[in-house]
Amino acid sequence: MSDRRRHELPPTAGLPLQLADLWPGRRDLATRVATQIGSPPLILTCSGSAAFMVALKTLAARNPQRRRVVVPAYTCPLVALAVHQAGLEVVPCDVRHSHFDFDPDSLRNACDERALAVVPTHIGGRVADVADALAAARAVGAAVIEDAAQSLGARAHHASVGLAGDMGFFSLATGKGLTIYEGGLLVARDPRLRSELVRTAHELARPDFHWQSRRCLGLLGYWALYRPRGLRLAYGKPLRRALRANDPVRAVGDDFSLPLPLHAVGTWRQAVGARAAVRLPDFLYACLERARRHVPHLKSIAGVRVLEDAPDTFGTWPFFLLVLESSRWRDAVLEQLWPAGFGVSRLFIHALPDYDYMQGIVPATDVPNARDFAARSLTIGNSPWLTDADMDRICEVLERTRCS
Ligand SMILES: *Cc1c(COP(=O)(O)O)cnc(C)c1O
């Protein structure tokens, strides 16, 4: 698709900021979000990964003899890096066929008395099977940490995600809905555990002028550029450059390095987030309405599977996660749509063991379903600017390339 498009759609639905959000104000971001989602008090951290590290360090201090952390083999590379930085061992566990949930048999093989934690992961607003992770973890005395980085606002069985396990965390990074450019929220139901987490979080998060200023500038940039015209510069150009250089890992921003920063979050960004958070419920509802309109269309294409809500769960819709019948078809779609400004992209490029930079961090493991998921899946950003005409074009390409 070679037409020069008027605008650039983002790969995920971020909540846009308004000028009035930028004034200094009360830093009650964590309290406000906790009230919205009906959770116990939330602990604000400088990133989702930082929240995860706080959880891991706290657990490791309680159980020094347990060192293994079982994570889905298809997840954000930051998860593996955070485990490593916390001084623990990553155990990648294969997922179910055509899904991101743990494969129940692989999970039981991965869990033994050396396991510190199991990390069921709510991908793209879809609610993961926490009950099975809990069963496998409890059988060996391990804890469950829900990775809800991509799913703030999602609910399961009438409660927010993150509350069924021992702990849960959300990300406030750019593109994950509500954002303060980089940030995280950590939750635990048990008050004793929570006060230990608060202590760990405080120890890890020192004030840091350098990171604090960088994140403030980043948030200003987000306010200025997170709109179709700005996204062309901030997202589209670097994306197309990475694709031309044949570097898909850079194209989706999967190229991370250690150490992950740990620092306090300043007052101003908290105030900005708190103001934007007021609009989050309406924003998520609008995303849901678009999903209700578009998912039937996508599903009507033979050979396309759209990941939807499991019974009694109510997810959020930052993007549509599709699994196509073949990787050849998936690649043909991406060749046309990835550079074309429609917000079509991939989630994570590889299964965890397959990133070059994971050598020495993630053990080489046979994870066929995770590899297959990486090869056959794609995402369509469900941003406020996605029009019916955009979706028609996307569906047209899906249909046209099917037998390629
Ligand atoms: C983004 C993400 C993280 C890490 O969150 P950050 O705020 O970027 O550190 C963890 N897990 C998943 C599934 C993610 O998508």
**CA 77 to centroid of ligand 1, rounded, Å:** 8
Q: Is the pLDDT of residue 299 over 60?
A: yes
Phi, psi at residue 263, to the nearest 5°? -160, 170
Residue 206 is inside which H or E element, if any?
Answer: none
Q: Is the pLDDT of residue 39 over 90?
A: yes
**CA 150 to centroid of ligand 1, rounded, Å:** 7
Using CA atoms, how far apart are residues 202 and 205, in angstroms rounded to an integer? 5
Of the pLDDT bands very low, low, confident and very high (cuts 50, 70, 90), residue 259 is very high
**CA 37 to centroid of ligand 1, rounded, Å:** 19
On average, the pLDDT of the chain sits at: 96
Helix (H, G, I), strand (E, B) or coil at 382: coil
Q: Is the pLDDT of residue 2 over 50?
A: no
Q: Which atom of ligand 1 is nearest to the CA of 47?
A: 7
Q: Residue 404's pLDDT is what?
A: 63
Q: Which atom of ligand 1 is nearest to the CA of 48?
A: 7
Using CA atoms, how far apart are residues 291 and 310, in angstroms rounded to an integer? 15
Q: Which residues does a 6 A CB cutoff place in the pocket of ligand 1?
A: 47-49, 75-76, 78-79, 121, 147, 149-150, 171, 173, 184
pLDDT in tens, 150-189: 999 999 999 999 999 999 999 999 999 999 999 999 999 9
Give the bridge partners for 180, in sequence order.
none
Measured by CA distance, the residue closest to atom 7 of ligand 1 is 48
pLDDT in tens, 179-224: 999 999 999 999 999 999 999 999 999 999 999 999 999 999 999 9
Q: Which atom of ligand 1 is nearest to the CA of 147?
A: 11
Helix (H, G, I), strand (E, B) or coil at 183: coil
Which of 126, 147, 257 for mutating ligand 1's site (highest number of atoms within 8 Å of CB)?
Answer: 147
**CA 152 to centroid of ligand 1, rounded, Å:** 12
**CA 328 to centroid of ligand 1, rounded, Å:** 28
Residue type, 292: R
Measured by CA distance, the residue closest to atom 5 of ligand 1 is 48
**CA 253 to centroid of ligand 1, rounded, Å:** 12
pLDDT in tens, 308-348: 999 999 999 999 999 999 999 999 999 999 999 999 999 99
Using CA atoms, how far apart are residues 200 and 317, in angstroms rounded to an integer? 32
Radius of gyration of the chain (CA): 20
Q: What is the layout of strands, in order, in the sheet containing 313-314?
A: 159-160, 155-156, 313-314
- Residue 47 φ/ψ region, left for φ over 0, alpha for ψ in the -120 to 50 degree band, beta for the rest: beta
